[in-house]
Structure 1
Amino acid sequence: MPLRRGDEGVLLDVRLTPNAAYNRIEGIIVDGEGRPRLKVKVTAIPENGKANSALVKLMSKSTKRGKGVFEIISGKLDRNKTLLIKGDPVAVEAEMKKWLESK
């Protein structure tokens, strides 16, 4: 599971592919380092933070949470990113696990 608890919420590891044909969440993959990541594709280009903004927008829409609860805390210039989902770590983790299982 690409989730782990943090101090301010839950951390979600993501593998982002920009310039895709459409925006979609493809499910969980294991990267070359053996870490599980949520595979996400966005149509936005990786320029001036457009792909990162598209990632936050897609996650917000898909999880029915406000954009403000998502923050990219690592990997802003990389395909591998870590998203912080702000909120009570226990509650957010339970909700996100249930959401991930539906993907």
Structure 2
Amino acid sequence: MNAYAAFFILFIPVLLIYGTIQYFSFKNWTSVYIALNDDSYFQAISKLKQAGVRYKIKSSFDQTSTPMFGGNRQRHYEIYVKEKDAHYASQQLYS
């Protein structure tokens, strides 16, 4: 068995398991806010905490720009709430 076949035999099940977990962990949740920097992220979650709304976060990191070469690394946050709480959470975030 060559290295490529072994890689795919191990990689495909891991990818399927990861995708299944992601699907079911965010199944009844909806995105209510996208923060493009840390300050807006912390402001948004503090409003949700004060309102007593449960939330989940998905974050991604832009690795294409580095501070060493004059870039500004940015983290992107997606804030999710339960579908039944989406309207109330939006009111709290945008008030």
Query: Structures share a fold, TM > 0.5?
Result: no
> 1 or 2, which has the higher helix percentage?
2
Larger Rg: 2
The TM-score normalised by the length of structure 1 is: 0.38
TM-score (norm 2): 0.41
